[in-house]
Structure 1
Amino acid sequence: MAAVFPRRLSAVLALLIAASVLWVGGVSSPALADPDEGGSKTLSDALESAAKGQADAIQKLNASKKRQADLQNTVKTSQASAKQLEGQVGAIVNRAYRLGRTSTMSLLLNSSSPDAFLERAQQIDMIAQLNGKILQQYRDDLNEAQSAKAAADQEVAEQQKQVAALTKKKKEAELALGSVGGGGAAGGFVSVNSPLAQPAPRNSDGSWPKESCTVDDPTTTGCITPRTLHAMQQAQAAGFNHYVACFRHQDSGEHPKGRACDFAAHSTGFLDEAATGADKTYGNNLAAYFIKNADRLGVMYVIWYRQIWMPGTGWKAYSPQGGPAVVHTNHVHLSML
Structure 2
Amino acid sequence: MSDMMESTNRRFVNAKAAVNASRKNQKKLAAEMKAAEGRRDALIPEVNSIAQQQYQVGNLSAVGFLLNASTSNDFMSKAISLEEINKLHDSKLRELNSAIATVTESKAALDAELKNEQQQLTALTKQKAAADKQIDLLGGGTGINRTITDGLVDAKSKPAEAAPRNADGGFSAEGCTEKDETTSGCVTKRTLHMYKEVRKAGFKRFVGCHRNGGPFEHPKGRACDWSLQKSGFSSADSNDEMKYGNNLTAFLVRNADKLGIYYVIWYKQIWFPATGWRAYSGVSDHTDHVHVSML
**Normalized against structure 1, the TM-score is what?**
0.78
Which residue pairs with 1:77 in the alignment?
A: 35
Task: Give the AA of the match of 2:62.
Answer: T
Aligned to 1:113: 71
* Residue number in structure 1 paired with 2:151: none
In structure 2, the residue matched to 1:245 is 208
Correspondences of 1:208-227 after superposition (within 5 Å): 208=171, 211-227=174-190
Greater shift in the superposed pair: 149-158 or 174-183: 174-183
SS at match of 1:270: coil
State whether structure 2 residue 125 is matched by structure 1 residue 167.
yes
Is 1:155 aligned with 2:113?
yes
CA shift for structure 1 position 85:
1.0
Check 1:256–1:105 CA distance in 2 against 1; reply closer, same or farther (3 A cut): farther
1:132, distance to aligned residue in structure 2 (A): 0.9
Distance 1:146 1:185, change over 3 A: farther
C-alpha separation in 1, matches of 2:143 and 2:25? 33
Matched residue type, 1:256: P
Question: Aligned partners of 2:37, 2:73: CA distance in 1, in Å?
Answer: 43
Question: How many residue pairs get matched?
Answer: 289
Structure 1's 280 and 299: CA in aligned 2 closer, same or farther, altered over 3 A?
A: same
Between 245-254 and 201-210, the greater mean CA deviation after superposition: 201-210
Q: Percent identity?
A: 40
Structure 1 residues 106 and 65, CA gap change in structure 2 (3 angstroms):
same
* TM-superposed deviation, 1:209: 6.5
**Partner Cα distance (2:155, 2:169) in 1:** 25
Residue 61 of structure 1 corresponds to 19
* Unpaired stretches in structure 2, ≥5 consecutive residues: 149-153
Equivalent residue, structure 2, for 1:286? 248
d(CA) in 2 for partners of 1:251 and 1:148?
52
CA deviation map 1:205-230 (0-9, x unaligned): 65446643221001122111222112
Give the distance between the partners of 1:106 and 1:330, measured in 2 at CA.
98
Range 71-80 or range 297-306, more displaced: 297-306
Matched, 1:329 2:287: yes
Matched to 2:237, the amino acid is: T
Distance 1:81 1:185, change over 3 A: farther
- In 2, distance between residues paired with 1:233 and 1:269? 20
Matched, 1:126 2:87: no
1:236 equivalent in alignment to 2:236 = no
Deviates more, 1:214-223 or 1:195-204: 195-204
Whichever residue aligns with residue 281 of structure 1, its letter is K
Counterpart of 1:319 (choices 258, 281, 286) is 281
Q: Distance in 1 between matches of 2:195 and 2:102?
A: 47
Give the TM-score of the pair, scaled to structure 2: 0.88
**Which one has a bigger Cα radius of gyration?**
1
CA 1:116–1:216: 2 relative to 1, 3 Å: same
Q: Is the 8 A contact 1:44 1:252 kept in 2?
A: no
| Secondary structure of the structure 2 residue equivalent to 1:280 | helix
Write the deviation string for residues 94-143 of structure 1: whole angstroms up to 9, x where unpaired: 34555673222222222223322222222111111111111111111111
Native 8 Å contact 2:10 2:262 kept in 1? yes
